[in-house]
Amino acid sequence: MTRQEKIYDLLIIGGGPAGFSSAIYASRSQMSVLVIESMLSGGQIATTEKMENYPGFPDGVNGMEFGQLLEKQARTFGSEMVLATVTGVSLQERIKQVHTTEGTFRGRSVVIATGTRSRPLGVPGEEELKGKGVSYCATCDGFFYQERTVMVVGGGDSALEEALVLTKFASKVYVVHRREELRAIAILQERAHANSKIELILNTEVAKFNGDERLESVTLHNKVQNKTWDLPVDGLFLYVGLIPNTEFLAKAIEQNEHGYLLATEEMETSIAGVFVAGDLRVKSLRQVVTAVADGAIAAFSAAHYVDELNESERRQNDE
Distance (Å, rounded) from C-alpha 109 to C-alpha 10?
5
- Of 31 and 192, nearer to ligand NAP (C-beta) is 192
Contact between 47 and ligand NAP (CB under 6 A)? Answer: no
* Nearest one of 91, 118, 137 to 273, comparing CA atoms: 91
- Of 129 and 240, nearer to ligand NAP (C-beta) is 240
Q: How far is the CB of 242 from ligand NAP (least distance, A)?
A: 5
Size of the site for ligand NAP (CB under 6 A): 18
Distance (Å, rounded) from C-alpha 18 to C-alpha 39?
15
Angle in degrees, CA 251, 255, 258, rounded to 5: 100
Specify which residues 219 forms β-bridges with.
208, 230
Question: Hey, is 139 helix, strand or coil?
Answer: helix
* Nearest one of 88, 97, 112, 118 to 254, comparing CA atoms: 112
Three-state SS annotation for 153-181: ECCCHHHHHHHHHHCCCCCEEEEECCCCC
Q: How far is the CB of 128 from ligand NAP (least distance, A)?
A: 18
Chosen residue from 161, 234, 268, 294 binding ligand NAP by CB under 6 A? 161
Chosen residue from 178, 208, 221, 283 binding ligand NAP by CB under 6 A? 178
* Nearest one of 262, 268, 248 to 13, comparing CA atoms: 248
Chosen residue from 6, 7, 30, 53 binding ligand NAP by CB under 6 A? 53
- Of 9 and 161, nearer to ligand NAP (C-beta) is 161
Distance (Å, rounded) from C-alpha 141 to C-alpha 126?
16
- Catalytic annotation on 140? yes
Q: Which of residues 179-198 bind ligand NAP (CB under 6 A)?
A: 179, 183
Q: Which of residues 219-258 bind ligand NAP (CB under 6 A)?
A: 239-242
Contact 33, 75 (CB under 8 A): no
- Of 91 and 134, nearer to ligand NAP (C-beta) is 134
Residues 115-134, one symbol each (x = binds ligand NAP by CB under 6 A, - = not), give: ------x-------------
Chosen residue from 60, 120, 156, 259 binding ligand NAP by CB under 6 A? 156
* Nearest one of 6, 3, 50, 21 to 275, comparing CA atoms: 21
Distance (Å, rounded) from C-alpha 214 to C-alpha 133?
6
- Catalytic annotation on 141? yes
- Of 211 and 244, nearer to ligand NAP (C-beta) is 244
| Candidate list 141, 157, 234, 294, residue with the active-site label | 141
Distance (Å, rounded) from C-alpha 33 to C-alpha 282?
25
Contact between 158 and ligand NAP (CB under 6 A)? Answer: yes
Q: How far is CA 248 from CA 13, 22, 82, 104, in A?
A: 11, 20, 17, 14
Segment interacting with ligand NAP, rule: CB under 6 A, options 29-37, 138-146, 158-166, 260-268: 158-166
Segment interacting with ligand NAP, rule: CB under 6 A, options 16-24, 92-100, 153-161, 216-224: 153-161
Q: How far is the CB of 144 from ligand NAP (least distance, A)?
A: 22
Which of the residues are catalytic? 137, 140-141
The residues binding ligand NAP (CB under 6 A) are 53, 121, 154-159, 161, 178-179, 183, 239-242, 286-287
